[in-house]
Structure formats: structure tokens, C-alpha cells
Amino acid sequence: MDIFAHRGVSASYPENTIAAFQAASKLPISGIELDVHLTADKEVVVIHDETINRTSNGSGYVKDFTLQQLRTFDFGSWYSLDYSGEVIPTLGEVLELFAGTNHRINIELKTDVFAYEGIEALVLKEVAAQQMTERVIISSFNHESLQTVAQIAPYIESAALFAEVLVDFPTYVALIPAKGLHVSLPTAYRKSVKLALAEGATVRVYTVNEERDARYLQQLGIQAIFTDDPEKILKALT
């Protein structure tokens, strides 16, 4: 079963920072997961929330700042003073960090609150610039974003994110179209997910931080999990 470091090694480092991704890049895991938003000057930045309030010493919406303005905030000290001075990374910087590794990169488009006009094309441009077309998975809760990705770059692997249970995942995912489905941990135990697996669907589960859950999902035939603590889960599965 593939292990993806959720927002980098976010159990031990401030999430979605270069420090968290550097730690992940040294692990024998399958890949990483990150989230992207768009700045006021149309730069693709890596951060989970729409605002910078939780993970920096500033406040306000990502979309209202330029990259240069965002760089003035500290994105590490909220987690630990050891990481004070961490800045918000751009997608390009994170991709560059993994240029020499074999890790897969799951890029979640955070377009479910703000649509971020044109973010899909900008993300795909960054991916192409780093020659990572074969290594990325584009996911989103906003399935219209995935339709846009499928139109621009049908050869890129995409995955639909779900927080809720659907009766028939494969038929819905084929409509988008998307190759994979990413489901929340409680949902993974439902009959509809087992049926999707039986039909050959690619299913990845978030966020799996307990060893027993990881082992059970492996038995179910789940292909991959996202975890904040990849080292712990790696040990549990080997």
C-alpha cells in the first residue's frame, strides 16, 4: 500500500512548509500531498486554509496578498519556535525539491471555497515546467476543477475528493472524468467503497494516523493512504 505524507511530514514539522517536505523527501514512501491556493498576483502557493491565520503570524485571505507580501509572514513558529522563519512555499519550489526523487506529488486544488479563476492551467504549467506530468495526481473537492484539468490535460491523473458517502462511486467518477477517488477515513469502511474496489477503482484514504486503521485498510485492498506521520505508519506496515 502506498503511503503519502499529508502536507509533508506534518506530525513533526509545520505543515506545507519546505521543512515538512524536505523530511518527506528523505523517506522511502510513495509520495506527498499538498494544497494550493492563488495569490493576488496569480502565484500558486502551498497552504491548506483560505486564510493565513492558523499557520502564520499574520491574518487575512491568501487571495488578497501578493506573493511578496505573503513572504513577510512567518509560517513556522505557530508550530514550534525551532521553525521560525519558514516562509510560504510556491508550488514550483516544492516540485523542485522532489525533482531528483521518485516520489509522487498529490496536488489538491483548494477551489471549493474560492474558485481561483485559471488556477488549473497555472498548476499544470508548473508541473510541465518541472517535467513531472507522469508523477502528479491532481485532486479536489471541487469536481468542476477536475473537469477543467481533464479538458486541458487529459493525460494527467486526477482524483475526486469526497467527504461523504456516495452510493455509486465508479459511475460518478467516470462522469467527471477522474481516475481515482480519495475518501475520508470513516467512509473507507462503507460498502460503496468495497464495491468500487471490486470494480477496479483506485481508492486512496485520508487522513490515516493510527496503525490499526492502516493495517485494516491494507487488508481491504486500499491502494494508498495519506498520513501526517509517515514514519510511524511505514513501520506499522512493514
Q: How far apart are CA 204 and CA 222, in angstroms?
A: 6
Catalytic (active site) residue 103: no
State the cell numbers at 220: 481491504
Catalytic (active site) residue 6: yes
CA dihedral angle for residue 32, residue 38, residue 44, residue 50, rounded to 10 degrees:
-30
Q: How far apart are CA 138 and CA 79, in angstroms?
A: 27
Element (DSSP H or E) covering residue 157: strand 157-162
Q: How far apart are CA 30 and CA 39, in angstroms?
A: 29
Any residues with CB less than 8 A from the CB of 31 and at least 6 apart, and which?
A: 2, 3, 4, 5, 103, 104, 105, 106, 137
Q: Which is catalytic among the residues 6, 103, 143, 182? A: 6
Q: Which residues are catalytic?
A: 6, 48
